[in-house]
Structure 1
């Protein structure tokens, strides 16, 4: 772009901001009346037209000056949660305190710089805030898409005296909010489960210390650790007694999410990708209600690995990742395969959410089966897959096929 065009673009943006953000609806109507009066006066040479045009211009100038002089410094704070859910309508408490000695009149409070995926239902119109008083009001926000969003703060707009001009003061209070994917809780999830021995038990998985199950006591033997001595029993019987433990066997389920969509098909398959994210959230929610350890694997655009369940992280930590997960436009299978191989020997079952069925994905499923894991495959797609998946059901078992409409309607069983 030519350097000479940039100043003109900045001037146009400045005029647009004045017209759209600073003038009210009444102010914009009166602005066009003023422009028409000025045009008529310049072509007709009528003194009365010039006089009326000058009066309207002076009217605007006085409105701008009085709005600035009448602005009262307020303290405004919106009490936002750290997390919400896509599609939710959230009532946000807004506290407004008038710390000056003057009353605040004709004031409008609303967020500024909201992301386009967060919608404000209605701004707060406050005709009167007495001096020294604090008020609380509710403001409703609707979250249209999952993701990580920045909330810049609140704006204070004074419409005094005639409601033509907004004198704006920005109260910057930047905060982040995570919007979780919308999902319907599953009533039942058919998972081929079993149990595998976990070296070190849950202690190795959670890094919370030795948590092997205490089953009994016995006499001390050569080579026993001094840490295992049961001092009360030794004091009671007079000979060294040690505690006996048994390592845990428990069910560990991997949740593998397919994020690969070629860039040229990104918009076309975006609904299916969002549906897969919702199903992943529903599966994680269902598993978190049971005594499972969940291993989440995803690649998009970075490789994610996270473990939750039992004494580990909570469901909200899994949803934090799903809220920010994006599409991957390059095949991620080579990047995620080494990570999978490092953990699959301790995984009982792998739930795989796929967006398509092709040779790469079939090879991934075959590798998981060769590691001795049971597999449940869920294919989220509206159109037929690249390859017919029916021939692979001897490898995968029954493949659950669901569409975006199934997810939006509320899929309760998988």
Structure 2
């Protein structure tokens, strides 16, 4: 737990640092260092002339501030963002700038203003904090920093009236979810090159950042075809129409779409077409969303593991169900014309851990679909009695289950009895490559 005073101290300190980097150029910061140093050594004006240096640079800084107040330009900006990005990979995009003024603009720069993504006090209070004062202070200092760099100015070429230019920009997302861009700032230093002046062009846009994905070896999933509840509608939606079986007389309750109109015209009475239920392969990808006080890193790596399977499992001839619990139990299906893997990745980009609910909410949501499943991949946040019983119940119903446990502790692979595989957060790529 952290106190409100300590939280605001770190927050204000970080804000001052960002303001200092954005507002002052490198020469401007050097001038401030000279001002402070000369003020310290020039206190006694009878023994040193350092106060003259202090006065000179104070006047220079004052003139810089004065000139910075009169900056104006008629530059318009437009971003061209990709729809998706990925955690840990550079997110490249372009910014189109157009000079709509009547004068030539020189010495301009461009800087992004992005949404503040730092956690609030309530989020930090709910976080799992390390032991030890120093470790807590380091963690708090990290949380007060933004995930995306600020104060980085991209220089612009000279732009005449009506001229346009395009610059390439990139940012490396540190977390999944929505990446919000607020404004494009047009920057120009004062004549002394000490203070940056800004004109903010409001351009609120966003892109979806998908979870990090790891390369997986070929995963051999069971290919046993199971009968799919839902009959003709589900089979038809995935490209597997039911197989025609026979013809019979109409009975009350039969759907009208199964009437064979030619036979009705010949016999004078309604005739129904009978079909045999279709069977096909269906796998489930189950994500444990119950951290129960564990590190948020474990949950994020679990989401990345699920995303790796969602993008690796071949769904050309099978279905893949993503199952997890949020506000309620969710099931998203892809494969065989029922959606692309990008749909599942979009869902995983927005999934959040569940607080206030036990893990016992998840098994019933999966087991009620067990009769239609050919196999299950479970991505778990722990290996306790509840989760162990869940995996055993799946196997007791003759459903092959691959259980992966994401952990931040040294795990003895022999302790699991072969029922699960431990994946350590510090060696995710290596452990997943050994599956």
TM over 0.5: yes
Shift of 1:133: 1.0
Matched, 1:80 2:106: no
Deviation string, structure 1 residues 89-135 (Cα, Å, up to 9, x no partner): 12211111111112222222121246433357963112522221111
Provide the C-alpha distance between the structure 2 equivalents of 1:8 and 1:96, rounded to a whole number of angstroms: 38
State the SS of the aligned residue for 1:384.
coil
Match of 1:384 among 402, 411, 425: 411
1:222 aligned partner: 250
1:146 aligned partner: 176
1:4 aligned partner: none
1:310 aligned partner: 336
Q: Tell me: CA distance 1:412–1:384, structure 2 relative to 1, closer, same or farther (3 Å).
A: closer
Determine if contact 1:104/1:129 at 8 Å carries over to the other structure: yes
Determine if contact 1:82/1:178 at 8 Å carries over to the other structure: yes
Matched, 1:374 2:400: yes
Provide the C-alpha distance between the structure 1 equivalents of 2:108 and 2:393, rounded to a whole number of angstroms: 64
Deviation string, structure 1 residues 356-383 (Cα, Å, up to 9, x no partner): 3221112112333344533222334452
Determine if contact 1:259/1:273 at 8 Å carries over to the other structure: yes
Provide the C-alpha distance between the structure 2 equivalents of 1:18 and 1:380, rounded to a whole number of angstroms: 39
User: TM-score, normalised to structure 1's length?
Assistant: 0.79
- After superposing the two structures, state which structure 1 stretch, 276-285 or 238-247, moved more: 238-247
Provide the C-alpha distance between the structure 1 equivalents of 2:101 and 2:76, rounded to a whole number of angstroms: 10
Q: Tell me: CA distance 1:202–1:56, structure 2 relative to 1, closer, same or farther (3 Å).
A: farther
Alignment of 1:58-207 (within 5 A): 58-113=59-114, 115=117, 116-119=146-149, 123-201=153-231, 203-204=233-234
Alignment of 1:294-373 (within 5 A): 294-299=320-325, 303-328=329-354, 332-373=358-399
Provide the C-alpha distance between the structure 2 equivalents of 1:352 and 1:275, rounded to a whole number of angstroms: 14
Provide the C-alpha distance between the structure 2 equivalents of 1:63 and 1:205, rounded to a whole number of angstroms: 73
Count of residues in correspondence between the two structures: 401
State the SS of the aligned residue for 2:321.
strand
Q: Tell me: CA distance 1:17–1:273, structure 2 relative to 1, closer, same or farther (3 Å).
A: closer
1:3 aligned partner: none
Determine if contact 1:105/1:160 at 8 Å carries over to the other structure: no
Determine if contact 1:95/1:137 at 8 Å carries over to the other structure: yes
Shift of 1:403: 3.8
Provide the C-alpha distance between the structure 2 equivalents of 1:100 and 1:65, rounded to a whole number of angstroms: 23
Q: Tell me: CA distance 1:54–1:148, structure 2 relative to 1, closer, same or farther (3 Å).
A: same
Determine if contact 2:21/2:151 at 8 Å carries over to the other structure: no
Shift of 1:159: 1.0
CA RMSD of aligned residues (A): 4.2
Matched, 1:408 2:435: no
Shift of 1:315: 1.2
Matched, 1:293 2:319: yes
Provide the C-alpha distance between the structure 2 equivalents of 1:198 and 1:355, rounded to a whole number of angstroms: 30
Shift of 1:334: 1.9
Q: Tell me: CA distance 1:281–1:22, structure 2 relative to 1, closer, same or farther (3 Å).
A: same
Deviation string, structure 1 residues 2-49 (Cα, Å, up to 9, x no partner): xxxxx9999988876653331111011112323444556653169986
Provide the C-alpha distance between the structure 2 equivalents of 1:258 and 1:188, rounded to a whole number of angstroms: 23
Shift of 1:387: 9.2
- After superposing the two structures, state which structure 1 stretch, 95-104 or 61-70, moved more: 61-70
Question: What are the ranges of 5 or more consecutive residues in structure 1 without an aligned counterpart?
Answer: 1-6
